[in-house]
Amino acid sequence: MKRLRFLIFSGVGAVAGYLYYFFIGCKTNTCPITANPYLSTLYGLLIGFGIYWAFFDNKRK
């Protein structure tokens, strides 16, 4: 269950990063992050992972 939740959050973050590039991204290719679809997808994935890690990756015994 933990891995599935990790994959869901990371996948949603990656899709959100690509959608940000597609709809809002830099049109003049001068923005280093949003001008490249791979970088914006990677940053979205990292943000999704960060949200998962901040809220769900707690070590309870």
Is the pLDDT assigned to residue 58 strictly greater than 70? no
Digit-coded pLDDT (tens) for 19-48: 999 999 888 878 888 888 999 999 999 999
- Give the CA count within 13 Å in the CB-facing half-sphere of 19: 6
Instruction: Enumerate residues 6+ apart whose C-beta is below 8 A from 24.
Output: 34
Which residues, including other chains, have CB under 8 Å from residue 46's CB and lie 6 or more apart?
13
pLDDT at 23: 93
Q: How many domains does the chain have?
A: 1
Q: What domain range includes position 32?
A: 1-57
pLDDT tier, 59 (very low <50, low <70, confident <90, very high otherwise): low
Q: Please say if the pLDDT value at position 17 is more than 60.
A: yes
At residue 53's C-alpha, the angle toward residues 51 and 55, to 5°, is 70
Question: At 10, is the pLDDT very low, low, confident or very high (cuts 50, 70, 90)?
Answer: very high
